[in-house]
Chains A and B, each alone.
Chain A
Amino acid sequence: MVAIAESVPKPDSHFRFILDRRDVLGSLFVAPAILYVLLLVGVPFLMAVYYSLSAYTIYDPSWSFVGLSNFVDILENPVFMQTLKNTFIFTFGSQALGLILGKFGALVLLRPFPGRKIVRALVILPWAVPIALATVAWQWMFDSLYSVINWTFIALGFVTREEAPNWLGSPNLALLSVTIVNAWRFFPFAIVIFLAGITAIPQDVLDAATVDGAGFWRRNYQIILPMLLPIMTIGLVFGVVFTFTDLSIVFLMTMGGPVGATSVLGFAGFQTGITSGDVSHGAAISLFMLPVLLIVVVTMLRFIRRREI
């Protein structure tokens, strides 16, 4: 005789259908994300606040409370003011450049042409390649001796070998160089944002503008661009937040040099707090990002809400 497994009646439990409840299951699924943010963002942030108000260094790990004196020290330091200024130029310069490149790139990629798919894939590369590799490549392109950029300029007769620019050696050019590299990294993202935004504009609206007599420029600047503003702002918020806190390009390409000309907040905080071991001042430098980012994000998000269409 074949025994057929019989379902054994389980004792009724209070928790038997607990996972069928939306609120319970939902909380369960969200919990890891919340824990992650609390432990890896919240805790370090509070520690940074605490360090910045103390005299903690790795040589003298005392937790003595010193009030705001770390911040006063920093603000009185002209090198820091230079760093703050660099950070703004680096951030907003590269975003502006990236957005312009992104807009034109998107317009080019919207039109069908042979090989468009390949070009679309290639254009994503700057965003996809590891930042260290890309930066090393750019370092060679900006090199004082082997610069392919200078070689081209000389070959085209724009400059002579003697007056060829020393990209990473002179302060203003070095800041321009890191800004260009960051814009180059950002513009594929801008292209994707613009492509998505332009594709989302109803064809009827564009046709109406054409019939209403709007030419290429008017259509672009009075119809398409205003309709892209909300999504563009979101892209810009991301870009600003990532760039303002970024140190990788500066770290890999110039180490903040020459003489602090390309030092940015993230890099200065790292140098002071980790490399030099002055944790309290390093934390205070890093915290300068907070009010700026807060203002940028709040302003932009409010702007989006007002423009909502």
Chain B
Amino acid sequence: MAAVSTKSIIKKFGEVPAVNGITLDVPNGEFMVLLGPSGCGKTTFLRIICGLERQTSGDLLIGGDLVNELPPRARGVAMMFQSYGLYPHFSVRHNIAFPLKTQGVPRAEIDRKVEWASQLLGIDRLLDRRPRQLSGGERQRVALARALVREPTVLLLDEPLSNLDAKLRASARLEIKQFQQRVGVTTIYVTHDQVEAMGMGDRIAVIDGGLVRQVGTPTEIYDDPADRFVATFVGTPPMNIVGRTDGFLGFRPENFLPKQMVTDEASTEFKFRVDRSEYLGSERIVYGAIEGFDPKQVVTAKLPPAHVAEEWIRPGKWHPFAVRDRAMRYFDNNGKRMSRH
């Protein structure tokens, strides 16, 4: 059964639409990532699920129950905010206990649960501190403990890593994922960072313009993007898209290789004029244009480690490159994926 199920959710702020009809099912225990650029409506959608915003139309089911009319506290959801929203005047213990106190949970039960949640996240020695005495990573754990202590049906996370520095972010990513697997709570995670989405999500919903463009596992999203938006939003550098008479042709930079590297199976050859070449240590990114297509359309190639030191790929020269046929993706003139070209 789906823990969260939305049916044609639409949200308008005045005349401005933020969510344009999202239908999405999140099964029990799944880690679902909502991925999209800023302003795409993903945070609004999350706030509708937790009840901070009321949808203009559409139905929302949590745990199988219609919750359109329920206030946030009656929905069995917990949310962790971008800047955590810890109560600055409460100790960590009081912060974690607050959601239980509002529910009128007995005192002994509160103590037991605060103990449980704080040990789970390794913050039991911080219980008597105030939020301002904590580091960014510690605050994040306190916020997570506060969200979990009620044992919610669904855990909602709104860009929880955006306030951490790059190094901490990598370890926090791993921690949240491991933690979610251990507790098994259904999680909806909003981010604009595709690395977080690819690395953490059981499934990813790519959102743009208030619509779900594609829902799928990270592999499906990356290998078989449903349209040009998904193809170019996920992946660094993004998928190369070149115009053809009947639509567009797309291929990932790492599949665009020097001809001699793709001799094993059927492939299509292109003449590649190299304009610039960047050496990034573990890879080399080459920018240029291909013959027979719009010369202003920049095409990138990502050369694997074995070819990083390839000095023969000089700017200003034409080189024979090729793409395996099974790595080619075709899109029609509306940008939708076509099964065959």
- Give me the interface of A with B, judged by CB distance under 8 Å: 202, 204-215, 218, 223, 226-227, 229, 307, 309
Q: In the complex, what's the smallest C-beta–C-beta distance from B123 to chain A, in angstroms?
A: 17
**Smallest distance from the beta carbon of A309 to chain B beta carbons, Å?**
4
Of the residues A208, A213, A218, A309, contact of B85 by C-beta under 8 Å: A208
Q: How far is the CA of A229 from the CA of B84 in the complex (A)?
A: 22
Q: Name the segment of B71-79, B106-114, B166-174 touching the other chain.
A: B71-79
Q: Are A212 and B81 in contact (CB under 8 A)?
A: no
Is A211's CB under 8 angstroms from B73's CB? yes
Contacts of B88 in A (CB 8 A): 205, 227, 309
Write 5 A-B pairs (CB below 8 A) sorted by A numbering. Answer: A204-B82, A208-B87, A214-B73, A309-B88, A309-B132
* Secondary structure class of chain A's binding surface, majority of residues: helix
B85 touching A207, Cβ below 8 Å: yes
A-B complex: 9 closest residue pairs judged by Cβ atoms:
A208-B85, A213-B73, A204-B85, A213-B102, A212-B99, A204-B81, A309-B88, A226-B89, A211-B72
Chain B, range 106-141, C-beta contacts under 8 Å to A = 130, 132
Tell me if B52 counts as interface (CB < 8 A to partner A).
yes
Interface centre among A209, A215, A227, A229 (most CB of B within 10 A): A209
Q: A227-B88, A227-B89 are in contact. Are A212 and B82 (CB under 8 A)?
A: no
Inter-chain contact B146/A204, CB cutoff 8 Å: no
A208 to chain B, nearest CB (A): 3
Q: Is B98 an interface residue (CB 8 A)?
A: yes
With beta carbons under 8 angstroms apart, the residue of B47, B89, B146 that contacts A212 is B146
* Closest chain B CB from A185 CB (angstroms): 31
Q: A211-B72, A213-B103 are in contact. Are A205 and B86 (CB under 8 A)?
A: yes
Complexed CA–CA distance, A211 and B80 (Å) = 10
Given contacts A204-B84, A218-B102, 4 further A-B contacts (CB under 8 A): A202-B83, A204-B81, A209-B85, A213-B72
Alpha-carbon separation in the docked complex, A304 to B44 (Å):
37
Docked complex Cα distance between A59 and B193 (Å): 85
Residue numbers in A under 8 Å from B77 (CB-CB): 211
Chain B residues in 8 Å Cβ range of A211 = 50-52, 72-73, 77-79
| Smallest CB gap from B83: residue in A | A204
- Between A204, A211, A226, A229, the greatest number of chain B beta carbons within 10 A of the residue's beta carbon is seen for A211
- A214 CB contacts on chain B under 8 angstroms: 73, 98, 102
User: B52 touching A210 by the CB < 8 A rule?
Assistant: yes
Once bound together, how far apart are the Cα atoms of A208 and B143, in whole Å? Answer: 10
- Also in contact, A202 and B85, with CB within 8 A (given A211-B77, A211-B79, A309-B130): yes
Q: A202 vs B103: C-alpha distance in the bound complex, in angstroms? A: 24
| Distance to closest chain B CB from A265 (angstroms) | 36
